[in-house]
Amino acid sequence: MNLCKDDKTGLWYREGTDDLKFLGKEDIMADHLPLKPTDVVMEIGANIGATTKFLCSQVENVIAYEPQKYGAYCVRKNAPKAITIQAGIGLYDGISKFYYNPRHRSSASRFGKLTNYGEIEIKSFQKELERWEPTFILMDCEGSEWELLRIKLPDFIRAVAIEFHFQRSIKRHYKKNQIDILTMINRIHGSGPQSLLLSDQFGLPIWTHGFVRHRNVSFAVWKRSLGKESAM
């Protein structure tokens, strides 16, 4: 696949794809999540590294995970200061199928049959947390966030930002496994996840919908609560 450099953003991207369509998380994080230079950021699902590049301008240590070969290659070119790991994140180490549309690689998924598929390495979320001890986690992992957030996050994590996805393939996956994701989705699209996912571990989230031109996407930022004082 040929790589091109965009004159406007300075980003390297994969020619013939819509890599540059999904930008914008940087603005939300800059407004709502002031990062400290000493923060250690774990970015799960870096795509081509647009947000990785922003993160590297804010903090000293960024660990970016991108399972696709050419995506990881772009991350290394766009954010050379980051530690880029070509792998996905899951509950356990292993190998998984990874489905994607060649022209729409931003929406690759482990959960639904798109156009093509390949095999990717999966690294254990728990082990990677213990390895890097991140203070901030950014998740854009195409539905895997529901799986990863089963575990209680360690105290050294002070904030988490998640891009949620609700594509049909993800809904089918959780229905097959008897997980009531539809109730979760209704809560999120209603009043926000006040009793969902991280709310027992962190303060109530900053919540936004449709921050990019893409259906079924929502974005939330949590900060760790400090005693009676909410981090929000």
- Where is pLDDT greater, at 112 or 86? 86
What tens digit of pLDDT does each residue of 23-61 get? Answer: 666 766 676 677 899 999 999 999 899 899 999 999 999
| Residue 150: Cβ-neighbour burial (10 angstroms; 0-12, 13-18, 19+) | exposed
- Where is pLDDT greater, at 22 or 209? 22
Strand partners, 124: 90
Whole-angstrom CA distances from 133 to 40, 53, 118 are 7, 20, 30
- Where is pLDDT greater, at 10 or 114? 10
Confidence of residue 19 (pLDDT cuts 50, 70, 90): confident
Q: What pLDDT does 191 receive?
A: 44
Percentage, residues of the chain above pLDDT 90: 31
Q: Which helix or strand (DSSP H or E) is residue 125 part of?
A: helix 125-132
d(Cα 80, Cα 24) in Å, to the nearest integer?
Answer: 20
Domains assigned to the chain: 3-151+160-185+208-219 (3.40.50)
d(Cα 176, Cα 17) in Å, to the nearest integer?
Answer: 31
Looking at residues 228-232, what average pLDDT do you find? 36
Q: What pLDDT does 110 receive?
A: 52
Confidence of residue 106 (pLDDT cuts 50, 70, 90): low
- Where is pLDDT greater, at 135 or 108? 135
Q: What pLDDT does 53 receive?
A: 93
Confidence of residue 211 (pLDDT cuts 50, 70, 90): very low
DSSP state of 53: H
Q: What pLDDT does 192 receive?
A: 42
- Where is pLDDT greater, at 100 or 144? 144
Strand partners, 223: 159
Token pair, residue 125, equals: 């979320």
**What is the overall mean pLDDT for the chain?**
76
d(Cα 14, Cα 28) in Å, to the nearest integer?
Answer: 25
Token pair, residue 204, equals: 């109530």
Residue in 216, 210, 220 with CA at minimum distance from that of residue 139: 220
Judge whether 125 and 152 are in contact, CB under 8 Å.
no
Q: Find all residues with CB under 8 Å of 124, minimum gap 6, and list them.
A: 89, 90, 91, 92, 93
What tens digit of pLDDT does each residue of 144-201 get? Answer: 777 787 788 899 998 888 877 655 655 666 566 655 555 555 555 544 443 345 666 7
